[in-house]
Amino acid sequence: MTKVPTRRSDTEKVQAGDYYDGIKRYYDQNLERTVVKLMTGDCYVTADTREMLVTILGSCISVCMRDPVANVGGMNHILLPGGEKKSRSDPGYSTRFGAYAMEELINGMLKLGAQKSRLEAKMFGGGNVIKNSAMIGTKNIHFVKEFLQNEGIRIAAEDVGGGLPRRIHYFPDTGRTMMRILQRKDDLRVVEEEKKYQTSLSQKKEVAAVEMF
C-alpha cells in the first residue's frame, strides 16, 4: 500500500525569504507555524490559527490586537504618531503613521468578522533608542494609549519605553506574546534602520504637516 504524503497548505509551503502581498513569510518547522515578519509601516490581520507575527521595535511601536471569540488577530508597526496624506509613490507611506496604522488594523479585523466591542490590545516598543531630543518613542506610546482609550479598546498588556529595542512574537489565535530585549550588536541594527526611515520621511514634502504630540 502506497502511503500518500500529508500535503501542507499554500501558506505553509512558503519558504524563507518569500514575499506574499508585500509581507515576508516563512515556515518554521519547529513551531509548525507560518511566520509573518512585519517591517516598518506594515499591518497584517489574520484568521489563520497557524500563523505567528514577528517584528523588531526600537522607537517604533506595535499594537497586537485580537478578538478572542472570532479568533481574528493582527499587528501593526508604527514609525511615528499622527497621520498624513497617502503618498502615491509609496503605498506603505501612510501606514507608518499612527492614525492610519491603527485604522487599518481595526478595519482589517472587522472585515474578517471581529467585533469592536470584543477587541483587546497589547502594545510594545516605544523605546527612546535614538539619542536625540525628539523622544519619538515616548510620543508613540502616548499616541497609542490615547487612541485606544478614545476607541474604547482595552489594553490587556504592555511593555513600552526604556532605551533598548525589542523583538516581539505574537500568536494571534491565543493572544500569547513572547518578547526579547535586544542588546547584541547585530540586533541593534534596527536603530540604524529607524534612523534611515525617519530621515527619508523628513525629506518628503508631505511630512511637513505631521503633528507630533
Instruction: List the catalytic residues.
Output: 60
Distance of CA 153 to the CA centre of its chain: 17
Q: How far apart are CA 85 and CA 209, in angstroms?
A: 9
Residue keyed to cell 520621511: 201
Q: How far apart are CA 153 and CA 21, in angstroms?
A: 28
- Grid coordinates representing 169 are 512574537
CB-based burial label for 79 (10 Å; 0-12, 13-18, 19+): buried
Q: How far apart are CA 58 and CA 42, in angstroms?
A: 15
CB contact at 8 A, 57 and 79: no
Taking Cα atoms as reference points, which of 213, 206, 197, 109 lies closest to residue 153?
A: 109
